[in-house]
Amino acid sequence: MTLRPAAINTGVVFRRTDIGGDQGRILLRREAVAETRLATTIANDFGASVTTVEHLLAAISGMGVDNIEIEIDNAEVPAMDGSAGPFADMIDAAGVVEQAAARKVIRILRPVDVVLGDRRARFTPHHRFEIDVTIEFADPAIGRQRARMAPTGERFREEIAPARTFGFLHEVEAMKSAGLARGGSLDNAVVIKDGAVMNDGGLRYADEFVRHKVLDAMGDLAVAGAPIIGRYVAHRPGHELNNAALTALLDATDAWRIETVRDPEPALAEERVAVAVG
């Protein structure tokens, strides 16, 4: 996979180099989301798809990148260590540059709510981008955790990007039996068994689980196509809930508006919009 700088107003574009041409080009937008079971998958009208995009998209969003082309030679983004940290590190090492254009943002104007069973999410107006996530698991290794923050800039790099995905041992074994998560291991996920973390070294943060849910939400909301100015509150979120909430928001055309800004709010940091990573 290679990340390349892109021209103004390109947005985020995936290119399947093993397919090529327009058939392999996938523009990141709400309509491109094809699957939210276990991970977020995007696809185009030709059937070309890329799965497990959420960690990479969280890094792109958290690092303030707006225009970028992602070349990938297969249908899945590399798992790395199960977090957005390696992607954020590579973007930081390559550097980002400002482009001569104002930034477009989506400003929330009124509340929008979604309920899926015992899970719920809400967008509300706010002066900056903020995520407020609560998770609840019966397993004592996780329990109930909450994180509320504006996850951008250095705060994203230090407090969110390194948080790894997680799962229970019996779930991983069942997925592998079904031909899924074949590369899943303790090297790219936090694995829990009988109330204990199996990974050597334990957790990176005491609340790493909920921090990763913030990371996932950032990646899932990035398919909006522009940074969001507003608060996203989610109880027991997952990719399905995040996508349903974003869809409900964008469908409610009186609940938001596109604004063009040259001096973004502090939560959007600088107008850093292009990057190349080899």
Q: What is the pLDDT of residue 184?
A: 56
Kindly list the strands in the beta sheet with 256-261, ordered across the sheet, starting from the edge strand earlier in the chain. Answer: 228-229, 103-108, 256-261
Residue 40 pLDDT exceeds 90: yes
Contact (CB, 8 A) for 147 and 210: yes
pLDDT band, very low/low/confident/very high, at 181 (cuts 50, 70, 90): low
pLDDT at 157: 95
Residue reference for tokens 């041992």: 169
Residue 170 pLDDT class (50, 70, 90 cuts):
confident
Q: Annotated catalytic sites, by residue?
A: 239
Give the pair of three-digit tokens for residue 21: 């041409």
Q: What is the Cβ-side half-sphere exposure of residue 271, based on CA atoms within 13 angstroms?
A: 14
Sign of CA dihedral 221, 222, 226, 232: positive
Radius of gyration of the chain (CA): 18
Contact indicator for 11, 4 with CB cutoff of 8 Å: no
Closest CA to 143 of 202, 192, 83: 192
Binned at pLDDT 50, 70 and 90, residue 152 comes out as: confident
The H or E element containing residue 219 is helix 208-221
pLDDT at residue 5, rounded to an integer: 94
Nearest 5°: phi and psi at 269?
60, -145
CA 250 to chain centre: 17
Does residue 259 surpass a pLDDT of 50? yes
HSE on the CB side for 255, CA within 13 Å?
A: 19
Of 66, 8, 23, which is closest to residue 272 (Cα–Cα)?
A: 66
For the ranges 63-72, 149-158, 174-183, 229-238, the lowest mean pLDDT is seen at: 174-183
Question: 3-12, 31-40, 169-178: which range is least confident on average?
Answer: 169-178
